[in-house]
Structure 1
Amino acid sequence: MNFLEPTAELLFSAQDATPMSTDEATIKSWDEARICLESAPKAWLSTVRPDGRPHAMPVLPVLVDGVPCFTTRPGSRKGRNLATNPGCVITAGNDVLDLVIEGDAVRVRDDDGLRRIAGAFKAKFGWEFALRDGGAYDDGLPGSPEYGFYRITPQRAFGYGPDGLTATRWRFDQTA
């Protein structure tokens, strides 16, 4: 499943009276955003606790079919938060772009999805998972702990240039 290309636009307009650029030539491409996330050695995932307070932790990001994915233990604070509220934010950065993606994270349980995400983790990080009984396990650790694979469906994203004055917003139209 590959998502449609999002609509890219300036985050600020001339009417906003901000020091941010309103030059459409500064709009970043979604390819630059993908490269940022693909190359990131880690990203920050923010989830919502049951009492509404935020929770942020680093995760290892991979892209599968252009969609951000990550893993966490189902019993971790992140895993428990996502089980009750899929809303999340993942952030990453490089020398060209600081990237913020808002969306919903859904746990992947189908065999094909598990295989594809496990393959992406092996290719990027050398992290091998054993797939069995509809789950992903790290047999290299004592007790072979289970990990959940999550796929984020982006709703909107923001990219900020290294100059601190350029900003792009991407809107994902999930109905088209």
Structure 2
Amino acid sequence: MEIINLGSSEGLPPLDWDPIVAKLDAKSAPPVGAINARTTWLATINDDGSAHVTAVGALWVDGRFWFQTGNDTRKGRNLARDPRCSIAISVRDADVVVEGDAVRMTEPEALTRISKAWADGGWPAKPDPSGSGITAPFNAPSQGPPPWNVYRLQPRSATVVSSAEPGGLTRFRF
């Protein structure tokens, strides 16, 4: 992993990736009432090259972000054309942006594992019998009908801004 200290000109130390992963693993959220609330944002690329950013119910499982969407959503169409995307989230004392490629997952074991993670979090997802994705009794209306495609973000880099003393701004290339 390459570590680039983007805050060196301000005298900030480089951050370590392992504590960020520990916060993601622990589902560490900003304190209640914090200005960086617990919303996960997905950015994809529209066909004209502009950015499309939307809130998404992503999960951090096995050291990667996972998310789902319908075939006919804008993000689904964007990812079918160009898998490059990024996910942004705030954890306690830091903001994290992970950039990479969305890889559609259809392996039964992966769909079972991530469905269970969503179900354990309160959304009763399960693998769709067709084997193409997941299903649940409900989802955001904008997702369209099930089955919904499941994606894992294969990271290329991450940028972390720490608000904890002494602060820091670091890019990690994987």
TM-score under structure 1 length normalisation: 0.78
Residue in structure 2 matched with residue 28 of structure 1 by the alignment:
16
Gaps of 5+ in 1: 1-5, 15-19
Residue in structure 1 matched with residue 131 of structure 2 by the alignment:
134
**1:97 maps to 2:98:** no
Residue in structure 2 matched with residue 167 of structure 1 by the alignment:
169
Distance 1:110 1:149 in 2: 10
Residue in structure 1 matched with residue 115 of structure 2 by the alignment:
118
Partners of 1:62 and 1:124 within 8 A in 2:
no
- Find 1:86's aligned residue among 83, 92, 102: 83
- Find 2:69's aligned residue among 65, 69, 72: 72
Distance 1:169 1:100 in 2: 9
- Residues 116/137 of structure 1: CA separation in 2 closer, same or farther (3 Å cut): closer
Partner SS state of residue 121, structure 2? helix
Partner SS state of residue 82, structure 1? helix
Partners of 2:85 and 2:99 within 8 A in 1:
yes
Aligned residue-pair number: 160
Q: Which amino acid aligns with 2:110?
A: G
Q: Which amino acid aligns with 2:8?
A: S
Distance 1:116 1:81 in 2: 25
After TM superposition, give the deviation of residue 84 of structure 1 in Å. 0.3
Distance 1:111 1:157 in 2: 29
Distance 2:6 2:162 in 1: 12
Q: Percent identity?
A: 30
- Residues 38/79 of structure 1: CA separation in 2 closer, same or farther (3 Å cut): farther
Partners of 1:130 and 1:137 within 8 A in 2:
yes
Partners of 1:158 and 1:167 within 8 A in 2:
yes
Residue in structure 2 matched with residue 145 of structure 1 by the alignment:
146
Gaps of 5+ in 2: 30-37
Partners of 2:128 and 2:147 within 8 A in 1:
no
TM-score under structure 2 length normalisation: 0.79
Distance 1:10 1:144 in 2: 44
Residue in structure 2 matched with residue 3 of structure 1 by the alignment:
none
After TM superposition, give the deviation of residue 38 of structure 1 in Å. 5.8
